[in-house]
Amino acid sequence: MARGCGDFGGPEPFAIVDTIGVDPDLEGRRVGKALLAQLEANLKGIGIETIRTEVEWKQLPMIGFFASHGFRPAPAICLEKKIE
């Protein structure tokens, strides 16, 4: 977890969740919920106010997981362009 920067490099205290994984044999046992709860507690303790992540549009189970834990769409849209 790294302290991120806001739009165009301005300071804004947020963390980025790049990867979260749960062993498939443990799915449905609230391991992901426990991981996020501990992460939030740790981040709050160091002054981080926001957690961000990216999920592919078609990954409905992941979107549902994050939505069920209070994540909502961010006010910014990520744009990309393939360089050919």
> How does pLDDT run along the chain (84 residues), one tens digit per residue?
444 455 545 567 788 999 888 898 998 899 999 999 999 999 999 999 899 999 998 999 999 999 999 999 988 888 888 999
Q: And the tokens for 22?
A: 């749960």
Instruction: Decide: 62 and 55 in contact? Cβ < 8 Å.
Output: yes
Identify the CA nearest to 78 among candidates 53, 58, 49: 53
- Dist CA 81 CA 26 (whole Å): 38
What pTM was estimated for this model as a whole? 0.75
DSSP three-state, residue 49: coil
Residue 27 is predicted with a pLDDT of 85
- What does the domain layout of the chain look like in residue ranges? 7-68
Residue 78 is predicted with a pLDDT of 82
- Dist CA 32 CA 69 (whole Å): 10
